[in-house]
Structure 1
Amino acid sequence: MNFLSPAEIAAACSKAGTGKSKLAFGPMFALGILAGVYIGFGANLATVVGATWPPELGGLSQFFFGAVFSVGLMLVVIGGAELFTGNNMFLPISCLNGEATWGGLLYNWVVVFIANFVGSLLLVYIVFMGLYYVGATDTAGNVTALSATGTKAVAIAKGKLSLDWSQAFFRGIGCNWLVCMAVWLAMASKDVVSKIFSCFFPIMAFVTSGFEHCVANMYFIPMGISVAQSAPGAVAQQFAMTPEAVTGLFTYSGFIMNNLIPVTLGNIVGGGVFVAGFYYFAYLRPAKKQKVSASGKAAQA
């Protein structure tokens, strides 16, 4: 059979979580930076593609946005990197199965989360300096209009920063339930093409649905903040806001408090409870009980 059964996937994920919990700091941080960059590549591609599709297309435009975004997880899964949201599934299932420690989980999550953020901001800087995303300027060099891609970057960040706390949290749950299912299905696959398709469909589904991914937002929102802070007047004009409203909305403190924290907590619940927890209780917990029962009977004999 060219793929793993669900029970075999659960065992493989538990074993993978053990390895992740024991990675040395240097490799873990380096791989975390790569994951932040890879997800950022997908986010940037989606921004560029989304800028060319008229909003009248509605869900179809969002579908193509999600379809191209999926390249980010393909790079993570096939290329190899440490992604916080995927580790929200790997580490809990390994801890529940007794193959990793909760201290190892916390160590991995903290290091990888910070490294993902570093990688995302690195790509924001590279892309902003290389491409972004101003249009017309006046004789003094002030930006008077944004390009289509710059406008899309600001629109994405504005939508995310305008969510209330509970919206961001519950969208985070839905997102990482699907992201971790993409990783779960990729673990079942034994060839690269199957891994690509395993990543594509759940990621396309979460983005098209409008869910929230904390690592993707480490790129989307800082990029929108960078564009808005570089051209507050142009943003105010194009989005019917006052310059004061622009500078008040597009801030890192607002990003962290109103989006990153609730989305991260939702992602943890989506991956740790609804994927790791459910599959542990469905497949690994019964297997452990069966082993304990068998060893008890052997001892009595």
Structure 2
Amino acid sequence: MHHTCVGKKGGTALECLSPAKIAELTTASGERKVGLSFRRLAVLGVLAGAYIAFGAEAYLLVLSDTAVFLGFGLSRILGGLVFSVGLILVVLAGAELFTGNSLIALSACCHRSSWRGVLRNWVLAYFFNMVGAVLVALLIFGARQYMLGDGSIGVAALRLAATKVSLPFWTAFFRGILCNWLVCLAVWMATGAMDTAGKVLAIIPPVTVFVASGFEHSVANMFFVPLGLFLKRVPSVVAAAGSVPGFQQLTWVRGFLLGNLLPVTLGNLVGGVLFVAVPYWLAYARSTENP
């Protein structure tokens, strides 16, 4: 069941579970997640949205001025590293994240859960992720975090939100696929890690790559875009940002919900289900099903 992954720890090789065992655990986990009560799913969904928002807020800190010192590429890598905190909190502290829960499709593929149950989990996790992410956006706004760095945080947040809502539909969709392919791989590998350090190390590289590459994460955008919408009403931030491409498209319905969240969410589902859950079902879980 176990095999050596990388390096040494305390004189013994670090071990992780085999992909086949990860598939087995992910299937069982999906079965449990589908059976969660409304109350537990609501609470853990709000927490997941909040945790991702914390990582996103840290990303804004890096985004605000690091490129001046490190250049574009390295600043994006650093931003990805700090954003990883969000998924680390989800996995280690325990929460129900819509994007990571794309993997519970594996339990339905194995006939251990119903697709109706999977859909219920997705819908509730998604809604409560939004509640948690928008809540943190409101708290960050209320705490006037946007004034940090002489207002550079607010400018970065406003520009990022405007950029996201002005993406063409198919661009946002494909970036959503690429994002959740990597996010679900991070969750998959963390499932196979046998200790806390291993789980953290499994999460950081895929998340760093997706963030540095500018791929689109629906739950992160539930923080980024609402925060930008709040800041749009602050004259000092708007003035400091100057001419912002996409500023006029920064609206709640047409810009946020329809222009960004819809294509990104669809892309996230395709990335997690068709590029991670289904391939590993075909490779490992399907062969173990009863005929």
Task: Tell me, yes or no, whether TM beats 0.5.
Answer: yes
Q: Quick check: which has more Rg, 1 or 2?
A: 1
Structure 2: gaps spanning 5 or more residues: 3-14
Distance, in Å, in 2 between the alignment partners of 1:131 and 1:69 is: 20
What per-residue deviation string (whole Å, max 9, x for no partner) do you get for residues 91-138 of structure 1?
A: 210000011111101110111100000000110111110123248xxx
Residues 234 and 129 of structure 1, relative CA distance in 2, 3 Å threshold = closer
Instruction: Give the corresponding residue for 1:74.
Output: 88
Decide which of 195, 198, 205 is 2:202's aligned counterpart. 198
Distance, in Å, in 2 between the alignment partners of 1:234 and 1:100 is: 48
Question: Is the Cα–Cα contact under 8 Å of residues 158 and 241 in structure 2 kept in the other structure?
Answer: no
Instruction: Give the corresponding residue for 1:212.
Output: 216
Instruction: Give the corresponding residue for 1:164.
Output: 168
Instruction: Give the corresponding residue for 2:26.
Output: 13
After superposing the two structures, state which structure 1 stretch, 45-54 or 173-182, moved more.
45-54
Quick check: 1:32 aligned with 2:36?
A: no
Instruction: Give the corresponding residue for 1:176.
Output: 180
Decide which of 217, 221, 224 is 2:225's aligned counterpart. 221
Distance, in Å, in 1 between the alignment partners of 2:244 and 2:16 is: 53
Distance, in Å, in 2 between the alignment partners of 1:165 and 1:184 is: 28
How many corresponding residue pairs?
276
TM value normalised by structure 2: 0.91
Decide which of 112, 134, 139 is 1:121's aligned counterpart. 134
Question: Is the Cα–Cα contact under 8 Å of residues 55 and 85 in structure 2 kept in the other structure?
Answer: yes
Instruction: Give the corresponding residue for 1:278.
Output: 279
Quick check: 1:64 aligned with 2:78?
A: yes
SS in 2 for 1:98: coil
* Aligned-CA RMSD value: 1.8
What per-residue deviation string (whole Å, max 9, x for no partner) do you get for residues 260-297 of structure 1?
A: 00000000000011100000001111222xx53xxxxx
TM-fit CA distance, 1:159: 1.4
Question: Is the Cα–Cα contact under 8 Å of residues 229 and 250 in structure 1 kept in the other structure?
Answer: no
Question: Is the Cα–Cα contact under 8 Å of residues 67 and 74 in structure 2 kept in the other structure?
Answer: no
Structure 1: gaps spanning 5 or more residues: 136-145, 293-301
Question: Is the Cα–Cα contact under 8 Å of residues 132 and 227 in structure 1 kept in the other structure?
Answer: no
Q: Choose between structure 1 and 2: higher strand proportion.
A: 2
* Aligned amino acid, residue 288 of structure 2: A
Distance, in Å, in 2 between the alignment partners of 1:270 and 1:213 is: 11
Residues 236 and 250 of structure 1, relative CA distance in 2, 3 Å threshold = farther
Aligned 1:101-140 pairs, distance under 5 A: 101-134=114-147
> Quick one: percent identity of the two aligned structures?
43
Question: Is the Cα–Cα contact under 8 Å of residues 62 and 75 in structure 2 kept in the other structure?
Answer: no
* Aligned amino acid, residue 33 of structure 1: V
Aligned 1:186-265 pairs, distance under 5 A: 186-231=190-235, 234-235=237-238, 238-240=241-243, 246=247, 248-253=248-253, 254-265=255-266
What per-residue deviation string (whole Å, max 9, x for no partner) do you get for residues 124-180 of structure 1?
A: 111110123248xxxxxxxxxx70110111121121111100000000000000000
Question: Is the Cα–Cα contact under 8 Å of residues 151 and 237 in structure 2 kept in the other structure?
Answer: no
TM value normalised by structure 1: 0.88
